[in-house]
Structure 1
Amino acid sequence: MPWDDRGGISLLIAIITGPLILVSGLLTVDAFGSLRSRENADAVAIEAARAAQQAVDLNSLIPAHGVKVDPVAATAAANGYLARTDAQGTVRITDGGRRITVTVTGSYHAKFWPHTFHHQVSSSARLLFGTTHPEDGEIR
């Protein structure tokens, strides 16, 4: 049978399939690289907030009216953690010294696409006082 087309493929599909798979694979590398960079920034923000949370103001413990951080020591602890991980970020202490928010900014320079992905992630830590539930009047 001279006109049997079993196993035949269109010339257009044969030419386009290879480059299309290659380009989509390369863009996937950049997409996952950007995601990995964002997840790393998120992890750094979480750990910097935890480091700051350890700087409890000891004078707030004695009257037993709640726990708060020493703003100077907490900011120094968080900034120290950011410096050790080569991350850029800011530290904010609110709620009377009970909430620490660390915001980390980062970027990923794409390998195969002429673009730089910028991201900014934040993490908060809240100091609670009480044995079974927070004694500041709110359960969070």
Structure 2
Amino acid sequence: MPVFVALIIGPLLLLCGLLTVDAFGVLRAKQHADDLSVEAARAAQQAIDPAQAIPGTAFVADPAGASAAARRYLAKTKVSGTVTVTDGGRTVTVTVTSRYHATFWPKTFSVTATSSAALLHGITQPDR
């Protein structure tokens, strides 16, 4: 009986260890996609509409410029994603899709992360 247990436990522990490597790899890929979506949304918020910002009418993102800035950031990082500008140019939402090729499984995992950035300005509190 102890020999049987030793023969079974060893491979089971090895299998669990190998699967854990891929599980943490998927988790790292998800975190990386989340980081990229946050940074792409932040890059998009830098593209404010100068026609409204210079005279002080409003501080909003230029939808075309914001989308282009986020897409340029995503292209540099070699991931795909979608960019949406809402709330009259005040909010940018970026969804990033990435992949993780498993090391020990014959599988590729797809991970998705979404982040939003709101353009705020003001001295003591954000103006809306």
TM tier relative to shorter chain: over 0.9
Q: How does 1:28-107 map to 2 (within 5 A)?
A: 28-107=20-99
Q: Does 1:113 align with 2:111?
A: no
Q: Does 1:12 align with 2:4?
A: yes
Computing the radius of gyration over CA atoms, which structure comes out larger, 1 or 2?
A: 1
SS at match of 1:118: strand
TM-score, structure 1 as length reference: 0.85
Structure 2 Cα separation of the partners of residues 111 and 59 of structure 1: 51
Mean CA deviation greater in 76-85 or 62-71: 62-71
CA RMSD of aligned residues (A): 1.4
Structure 1 Cα separation of the partners of residues 64 and 6 of structure 2: 65
Q: Offset at 1:66? A: 3.1
Q: Offset at 1:13? A: 1.5
Structure 2 Cα separation of the partners of residues 50 and 129 of structure 1: 14
Q: Offset at 1:115? A: 2.4
Give 1 or 2: higher helix fraction. 2
Q: Give CA-to-partner distance per residue, 1:31-89, whole Å, 9 cap, x none.
A: 01111111111111111111111101112224434310111111111100000000100
Structure 2 Cα separation of the partners of residues 22 and 67 of structure 1: 57
SS at match of 1:112: coil
Give the gaps of 5 or more residues in structure 1: 1-8
TM-score, structure 2 as length reference: 0.93
Structure 2 Cα separation of the partners of residues 20 and 94 of structure 1: 51
Q: Offset at 1:114? A: 2.5
Structure 1 consecutive aligned stretches of length 4 or more whose deviation exceeds 6 Å? none
Structure 2 Cα separation of the partners of residues 112 and 62 of structure 1: 56
* Residues 101 and 122, structure 1, Cα contact 8 Å, conserved in 2: yes
Question: What's 1:27 paired with?
Answer: 19
* Residues 66 and 129, structure 1, Cα contact 8 Å, conserved in 2: no
Give the gaps of 5 or more residues in structure 2: none
- Aligned-residue sequence identity (percent) comes to 55
Give the length in aligned residue pairs. Answer: 128
SS at match of 1:131: coil
